[in-house]
Amino acid sequence: MSIFLPELKYGLDKLEPFLSQRALDFHYGKHFVNYINAANALIKDTEFDNMSLRAIVKNSDGALFNNAAQVLNHEIFFNSMAPQETAMPESVRDLVLGSFNSAEELKEQIFKSATAHFGSGWTWLVYDAATGKLEIRNTGNAANPITEGLVVLLGLDLWEHSYYLDYQNRRADYVKGFLEHIDWSYAERHYVRALTR
Ligand code: MN
């Protein structure tokens, strides 16, 4: 089984002016595609060939983990955004209010976490089924919290390639833009799936 490039659910120009078409062209069409090609080359004729992407991420290490996890990370990232922030579904709102004082506080915490992270990596909104609460996690490089048994609801790419064309060194402005383009219905889908598992 090959790993395929998931279709973008919005046009490459639809996140402007937050992210330019040129930047998305590189990020989706080049960086993302390169991780997919590299992961496919590494799984060819191995025991990973018949695994789902998530299973590969949970069971691999080294170069395969790095590339497969980056495929999953980017799939989550591009699906975490929408041309306009979507309304927060009730189930997600209840979950947010059970874990933070308000949706605004959640966003402030994501902002703080993402701007404080050193180097390449990711900021995640995760659901911990053991506590029934949301948490914000940062990971370095390709790491994804699903390997710790957490449910990922949203992901924000902090690699410089994700914002440098539009924002250069201004990561904070990029993070602010992300917080105005969250697709909460995507977060809900993963939350509901975790509840019914
Ligand atoms: Mn990226």
Residue 113: CB partners within 8 Å, gap ≥ 6? 123, 136, 137, 138
The CA distance from 56 to 116, in Å, is 30
Distance from Cα 45 to the centre of ligand 1, integer Å: 27
The rounded Å distance from CA 162 to ligand 1 centre is: 5
What pTM was estimated for this model as a whole?
A: 0.97
- CA of 30 from ligand 1 middle (Å) equals 10
Domain ranges, ordered by start, for the chain: 21-79, 90-195
The pLDDT of 128-151, averaged and rounded, is 97
What is the DSSP annotation of 52-76?
Answer: -HHHHHHH--HHHHHHHHHHHHHHH
- In CATH, which of 1.10.287.990, 3.40.50.620, 3.20.140.10, 3.40.190.10 is domain 21-79? 1.10.287.990
What distance in angstroms lies between residue 67's CA and the mean position of ligand 1's atoms? 11
- For ligand 1, the distance from its centroid to the CA atom of residue 122, given in whole angstroms, is 9
| Helices and strands, number each (H, E), in the chain | 9, 3
Look-up of token digits 């250069």: 168
The pLDDT tens digits of the residues spanning 85-109 come to 999 999 999 999 999 999 999 999 9
- Is the pLDDT at 197 greater than 80, yes or no? no
CATH superfamily for 90-195 is Iron/manganese superoxide dismutase, C-terminal domain (3.55.40.20)
Query: Helix H segments across 47-170?
Result: 53-59, 62-79, 90-99, 103-116, 164-167
120-148 mean pLDDT: 98
Ligand 1 centre and the CA of 68: distance in Å? Answer: 13
Amino acid at 144: N
Q: What is the pLDDT of residues 46-61, one digit of tens each?
A: 999 999 999 999 999 9
Distance from residue 101's CA to the centre of ligand 1 (Å)? 31
